[in-house]
Amino acid sequence: MTTTRPYDRIAFVASASAEAQEALTGLVAAYGNHDPADADVVVALGGDGLMLQTLHQQMHSGKSIYGMHRGTVGFLMNEFSLHHLHERLAAARQTLINPLLMRATDMHGNVHLHHAINEVSLFRQTYQAARLRILIDEHERMPELIADGILVATPAGSTAYNLSAQGPIIPINGALLALTPISPFRPRRWRSVLLPNTAFVVLEVLEGDKRPVAAVADHDEVRDVRRVEVLTDKTISMRMLFDPGHSLDERILREQFTY
């Protein structure tokens, strides 16, 4: 009798790097390769950039995603090995990720919808700093922020650009978002705040004609925005798989003790 293993049908995706392509060749030879639409799990070979790309591609599929590090930054990836992949997948722990939904309105009144797994960011487009107004759940919290920009980060994205901008690291299961300014000029000492992941964040651009601002949801950019609304999209849950002892929770905890 044939026993069906968990995640028996594997789809492999890989970045274009020589390291990732070599890994792809070896894994396909050992385990075969299914079309992602027919697979039980998608295994991504590369770095965090490829993992984000794969999560976006599979956002509505319900597929589990398991990454192996064959790239530059590998915070979201497991260690690479050609061996015992079926056993590793069967033992892996699942982490659920909810993306952010960005609704950006540009200067012409056009509305752009994009999802972000790491963060939604606003950036100045010219040499002049951006002037922004911040509302949380329809209440004004800051009438004016003058800065290079601001970002809203998920727990999964809290160790990415958010951390570089001096934002807090959030445990992956924390029901929180980070709202972090980018190079703030006024208020000068304002660094970051934590919000519940139920928060409805509105970022209004002041003097947009003089100080144009772009909004970016991971890699999707909208230029000349006037208003950006951000909320957690609880209708979408993505499943990431991590080896025991190598979970995203554990890595986020370790990151806070790294100097």
User: Is 137 among the annotated ligand-binding positions?
Assistant: no
161 is in an annotated binding site: yes
Asked if 151 contacts 170 with a C-beta cutoff of 8 angstroms, the reply is: no
The reply to whether 79 sits in an annotated binding site is no
Q: Please, are residues 99 and 236 in contact by the beta-carbon 8 Å criterion?
A: yes
Catalytic residue among 35, 48, 224, 249: 48
Collapsing DSSP states into helix, strand and coil, what is residue 247?
coil
Output the six-digit token pair for 52. Answer: 């984000």
Of the candidates 176, 175, 28, the one whose C-alpha atom is nearest the C-alpha of residue 167 is 176
50 in a labelled binding site: no
Burial of 2 (0-12, 13-18, 19+ CB in 10 A): exposed
**Is 48 annotated to bind ligand?**
yes
Cβ distance 205 to 225 under 8 Å?
yes
Query: In terms of Cα–Cα distance, which of 93, 9, 16 is closest to 43?
Result: 9
49 annotated among ligand-binding-site residues: yes
Could you confirm whether 233 is annotated as catalytic? no
Task: Find out whether 162 is annotated in a ligand binding site.
Answer: yes
Question: How large is the C-alpha radius of gyration of the chain?
Answer: 20
Task: List, in sequence order, the alpha helices (H) in the chain.
Answer: 18-31, 48-57, 85-91, 161-164, 248-255
Known binder of ligand: residue 148?
A: yes
Q: Which tokens hold the place of 45?
A: 């070979």
Nearest to 89 by CA among 253, 240, 252, 259: 240
Could you give the angle at the alpha carbon of 217 between the alpha carbons of 13 and 42, nearest 5°?
A: 20
Contact 92, 203 (CB under 8 A): no
Which positions are annotated as active-site residues? 48
Q: Binding-site residues, please?
A: 48-49, 118-119, 148, 156, 159-164
Q: Binding-site residues for NAD(+), please?
A: 48-49, 118-119, 148, 156, 159-164
